[in-house]
Amino acid sequence: MRFLIFLVAAVMTLASCATQPDGPRLGSDGKPLPKLYRIRAADEGRIQYEMLDSVNALRQAAGAAPVQLNAQLNAASATHSRDMSNQNRPWHFGSDGSSPIDRVRRVGYTGMMLGENISETYESELETLSAWMEQPDTRDVILDRRALNMGFAWYQESNGKIWWTLIMGG
């Protein structure tokens, strides 16, 4: 009898561990729920260079020269990403009223600020880049033929939301 009870308990335990069916989980609207993209501190360099390589591949396909990562533009991007999170809204103006041009000057960048792309999402950097390329205004920033430098950074909240900023300079 004890063996039978043990066997039933073991089967019930295993049944509760069964995996869910493959495929995306769906929200109440029937659309797939976003998969949380968690960024670790150790991923910073990899993500920035993957984005740089991807941007340069897109630029090459469009006949534009490659750009280089710029530490000053990275700093301006990081500052703005965190500030957007603090304001809880994606927009181009800082909480102090600063414009993208102001932020680029503050970090000591002496070139011309050509454009800034921003995003509030749970998606990866490459999914975000793809979304930017679908819109004419943000695509134009990425493919601007005058660009020589790129800054790219993000801020991820504890809930997983990511605030991305990409700045092109010439």
Q: What's the predicted TM-score (pTM) here?
A: 0.78
Task: Give the β-pairing of 113-121 and 162-169.
Answer: antiparallel
pLDDT tens, residue by residue, 42-57: 787 789 999 999 999 9
Element (H, E) at 109: none
Q: How does residue 34 score in pLDDT terms, banded at 50, 70 and 90?
A: low
> Which of 86-95, 119-128, 141-150 holds the top average pLDDT?
141-150
Q: How does residue 19 score in pLDDT terms, banded at 50, 70 and 90?
A: very low
Tell me, what's the pLDDT at 43? 82
Q: Per-residue pLDDT for 17 more than 60?
A: no
Gap between the Cα atoms of 88 and 91, Å rounded: 9
Which residue did the predictor score with more confidence, 7 or 130? Answer: 130
For domain 41-155+163-169, give the CATH number.
3.40.33.10
CA 88 from chain center: how many Å? Answer: 16
Tell me, what's the pLDDT at 25? 62
